[in-house]
Structure 1
């Protein structure tokens, strides 16, 4: 499916993508009761009408923010969506974290800035072949350090300040990231499954955040809005 198709997705598209499938009824958060429409074979079914409503609210926020040249950070670290998060973020020119969230990445921004500066310096030295002038032991040590920094900071290597909006695709997995945003007052958009707390994010979108097809459908809608908003900003100059 194209991004345009995802943008125009209806309830049928959502059902096809499995957006409505929640967790087992024994693994649910009672706060999610208003967002659950039924239970089928011990599986909670998300109310897609509410999903559509909150998704539209989130899309409008994202579009307006992109039109105002705001910066986005997309967070999704489950192994099965790591490549999806990276490709979508690059397409929308967003920062992203698709591996491990380093505790204090935002709340201890001064330390993160130091790490990013080190990362950029090592990348520059490698490109200029400065590693070749060192002893083999030192070269291997710097290459290993650079590889580690690339893994954890590669998606935010161009980030020079705190993001304006953070989109979190795996709410439970990235609870620490969400708490950091709450502490700093950074607006958040989260995909929340039936085992999540819907009160923590600024906009919580009830949806299956385990299925790749579900995450892809929602994420591509955000990419569409960000690209459209940035194009509007360019055209208005």
Structure 2
């Protein structure tokens, strides 16, 4: 497989604040190899290492996408939600950006049932069912549909378990990581200085609080997936 050059620029990463970690009191000692300095009580991540792992992750998702593998991107905190949705839609990936429902992957049969219900309600709405309902019933119908859209909108076309899950903020999405580990699903995690770097298949040390930092990492991964998809279509 031809490797791409992902144009991961250290200067751009600095501008995006990728190197800023958490306060030194809030760190996980396992992150020591990825930290280059302390500044004003904050750990500074070694961007050369971040660039290496991000490049490795881009290679992995490019290869997987070029073989038609399926991706799920998860980031439910407010700062990440819009970025996750736009990157996933651009790269034609599934995504969860509002709330992770426990067992979404490990209890896939329940998720499938919920997705079927969601599809049925959407089809009923398209066929004009709302016009035939009383005001009260229409309100209940809309509320049900809106709730399902919030939680399942990003996975509405998912027909089976994903091959790779990309997680923004390991601490926030720990349940997602656990489900992937149980099922043997490959994971790529954005990890800050308070995380355990040994849990995901590829951990990318980076600031998981700044929007610019999250955008930088997610955009690179989404671009690599897009390139892989193009290669799959061309060769498929």
* TM-score (ref. length: structure 2): 0.96
Aligned residue runs from structure 1 range 178-197, under 5 A: 178-197=177-196
CA distance in 2: counterparts of 1:7 and 1:96, whole angstroms: 23
CA distance in 1: counterparts of 2:122 and 2:86, whole angstroms: 21
Structure 1 residue 83: Cα displacement: 1.2
Aligned residue runs from structure 1 range 136-151, under 5 A: 136-151=135-150
Cα deviation digits, residues 55-79 of structure 1 (max 9, x gap): 1110110000000000000001111
Structure 1 residue 12: Cα displacement: 0.6
CA distance in 1: counterparts of 2:101 and 2:150, whole angstroms: 11
CA distance in 2: counterparts of 1:13 and 1:124, whole angstroms: 45
CA distance in 1: counterparts of 2:81 and 2:223, whole angstroms: 19
| Total equivalences in the alignment | 232
Aligned to 2:31: 32
CA distance in 2: counterparts of 1:147 and 1:170, whole angstroms: 26
Q: Secondary structure at the match of 1:26?
A: helix
CA distance in 2: counterparts of 1:20 and 1:125, whole angstroms: 49
* TM-score (ref. length: structure 1): 0.96
State the 4+ residue runs in structure 1 displaced beyond 6 angstroms: none
Unaligned runs of 5+ in 2: none
CA distance in 1: counterparts of 2:115 and 2:151, whole angstroms: 10
Q: Secondary structure at the match of 2:119?
A: helix
Structure 1 residue 16: Cα displacement: 0.6
CA distance in 2: counterparts of 1:27 and 1:83, whole angstroms: 27
Aligned to 1:92: 91
1:219 maps to 2:218: yes
Structure 1 residue 159: Cα displacement: 0.3
CA distance in 1: counterparts of 2:137 and 2:6, whole angstroms: 50
Conserved 8 A contact 1:7-1:220: no
Aligned to 1:153: 152
Aligned to 1:229: 228
CA distance in 2: counterparts of 1:236 and 1:71, whole angstroms: 17
Structure 1 residue 97: Cα displacement: 0.4
1:112 maps to 2:82: no
CA distance in 2: counterparts of 1:112 and 1:213, whole angstroms: 32
